[in-house]
């Protein structure tokens, strides 16, 4: 087996399907490791990783930190609030200052699309994108596809619908790339205002009818409405959105087959998904979170193995 083909993970777009399979195979082993009595391996004991978060995050940040610690890497955390970014320091200056303290890898979340790509060209460290604005969130897409593979045995040939705020979602774009590279069919579903105009050019189906989309699919990935990124009103009210595109138990039970329900979190219960669906046995939301640690361990491991000594 060959090395992963990239030096940085800035987006799924740059990965080959072999890369993704390699990440999955490695993650299988890490999933076994994190279910051992001692959940730690000494592999990255001479690597230091900085988690730089310019945007809020709970799951991704915790998940990355746990992944790093379970690989025995040294970890430093940094969040933009309460830092010198507020005093006017530029992104590259901030990161270079951190790197001069001998950091080998940077995990970054930033509100600007392309921030990770930009950083990877400017600094001397491996960069992992933990979400860059509305662009990509590669590790989320990898863990989503990994969870589908775990639940259904394979991703190839499966039909996956992504429901909700596609326009503002980095999860949607990364998922589309990732699922297509693995041979799945993808549909996006949501109000016309929240579906990007040229999304069909990516080779995805588009639907504005939730029931129709759910009847088509094997897996439904439900996204949150990203109110924090919406500078104008895209729909009349959350209540109306919820009535048209919210997934509830009645709809789920009325379908002709049992589908798998996913959600990248954070969930707005009662808006895009009701509590009884989120907690039902068809939902693999918590498995997604568990797989997130294994996937991130695999990505960090594979990129770290390319750092020269």
Partner 1 sequence: MEKQVILNSKHLELTLNRLCYELIESHNDFSETVLVGLQPRGVQVVARLKKQLENILTKEVQCGNLDITFFRDDFRRREKPLIPSITNLDFSIENKKVVLVDDVLYTGRTIRSGLDALLTFGRPSKIELLVLIDRRFRRDLPIQANYIGKAVDTLVSERVSVEWKETEGEDKVVLFTKDKNE
**Residues with catalytic roles:** 59-60, 87, 109, 137
Q: Which stretch binds partner 1 (CB under 8 A): 95-103, 156-164, 288-296, 297-305?
A: 297-305
Minimum CB distance to partner 1 smaller for 34 or for 62: 34
Query: What are the backbone angles phi and psi of residue 90, rounded to the nearest 5°?
Result: -80, 165
> Minimum Å distance from CB 3 to partner 1?
5
Minimum CB distance to partner 1 smaller for 53 or for 301: 301
Q: Which stretch binds partner 1 (CB under 8 A): 9-17, 153-161, 163-171, 301-309?
A: 301-309
Query: What are the backbone angles phi and psi of residue 190, rounded to the nearest 5°?
Result: 175, 180
4 binding partner 1? (CB under 8 A)? yes
3 binding partner 1? (CB under 8 A)? yes
102 binding partner 1? (CB under 8 A)? no
> Minimum Å distance from CB 240 to partner 1?
49
Q: Are 142 and 299 in contact (CB under 8 A)?
A: yes
Cβ burial of 85 (10 Å; 0-12, 13-18, 19+) is middle
123 binding partner 1? (CB under 8 A)? no
Minimum CB distance to partner 1 smaller for 17 or for 193: 17
16 binding partner 1? (CB under 8 A)? no
CA distance 295 to 174: 15
Q: Are 123 and 104 in contact (CB under 8 A)?
A: no
> Minimum Å distance from CB 119 to partner 1?
22
Q: Are 187 and 205 in contact (CB under 8 A)?
A: yes
Sign of the torsion angle spanned by Cα atoms 32, 11, 129, 221: negative
> Minimum Å distance from CB 90 to partner 1?
31
Interaction with partner 1 in 21-60: which residues (CB under 8 A)?
22, 25-26, 28-29, 32-33, 36-38, 40-44, 46
232 binding partner 1? (CB under 8 A)? no
> Minimum Å distance from CB 112 to partner 1?
32
Q: Closest Cα to residue 164, out of 60, 258, 99, 247?
A: 247
CA distance 78 to 42: 24
154 binding partner 1? (CB under 8 A)? no
Q: Are 159 and 185 in contact (CB under 8 A)?
A: yes
Minimum CB distance to partner 1 smaller for 106 or for 187: 106
Minimum CB distance to partner 1 smaller for 142 or for 188: 142
Residues 6+ apart with CB under 8 A from 135: 11, 113, 114, 170, 173
Report in angstroms the alpha-carbon separations of 36 from 25, 30, 39, 214: 18, 10, 5, 37
CA distance 104 to 125: 5
Site residue total, partner 1 (CB under 8 A) = 29
Q: Which tokens hold the place of 221?
A: 């990935």
> Minimum Å distance from CB 54 to partner 1?
29
Minimum CB distance to partner 1 smaller for 220 or for 300: 300
Footprint on this chain of partner 1 (rule: CB under 8 A): 1-4, 22, 25-26, 28-29, 32-33, 36-38, 40-44, 46, 71, 301-302, 304-309
């Amino acid at each position: 087996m060959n090395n992963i083909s990239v030096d940085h993970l800035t987006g799924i777009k740059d990965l080959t399907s072999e890369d993704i399979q390699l990440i999955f195979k490695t993650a299988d082993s890490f999933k076994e490791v994190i279910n051992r009595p001692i959940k730690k391996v000494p592999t990255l004991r001479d690597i230091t990783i900085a988690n730089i978060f310019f945007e809020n995050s709970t799951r991704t940040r915790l998940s990355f930190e746990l992944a790093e610690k379970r690989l025995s890497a040294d970890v430093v955390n940094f969040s933009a609030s309460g830092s010198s970014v507020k005093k006017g320091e530029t992104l590259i200056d901030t990161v270079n200052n951190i790197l001069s303290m001998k950091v080998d890898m940077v995990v970054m979340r930033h509100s600007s699309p392309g921030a990770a790509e930009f950083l990877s060209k400017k600094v001397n460290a491996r960069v992992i994108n933990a979400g860059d604005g509305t662009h990509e969130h590669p590790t989320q897409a990898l863990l989503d596809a990994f969870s589908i593979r775990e639940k259904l045995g394979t991703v190839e040939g499966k039909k996956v619908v992504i429901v909700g705020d596609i326009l503002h979602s980095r999860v949607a774009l990364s998922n589309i790339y990732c699922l297509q590279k693995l041979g799945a069919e993808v549909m996006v579903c949501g109000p016309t205002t929240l579906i990007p105009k040229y999304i069909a050019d990516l080779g995805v189906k588009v639907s504005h009818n939730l029931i129709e989309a759910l009847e088509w699919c094997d897996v439904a990935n439900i996204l949150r409405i990203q109110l924090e990124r919406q500078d104008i009103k895209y729909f009349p009210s959350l209540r109306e959105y919820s009535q048209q595109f919210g997934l509830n138990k009645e709809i789920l039970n009325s379908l002709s087959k049992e589908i798998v329900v996913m959600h990248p979190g954070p969930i707005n219960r009662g808006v895009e998904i009701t509590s009884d669906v989120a907690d039902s046995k068809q939902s693999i939301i918590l498995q997604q979170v568990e797989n997130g640690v294994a996937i991130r361990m695999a990505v960090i491991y594979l990129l770290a193995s390319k750092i020269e000594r």
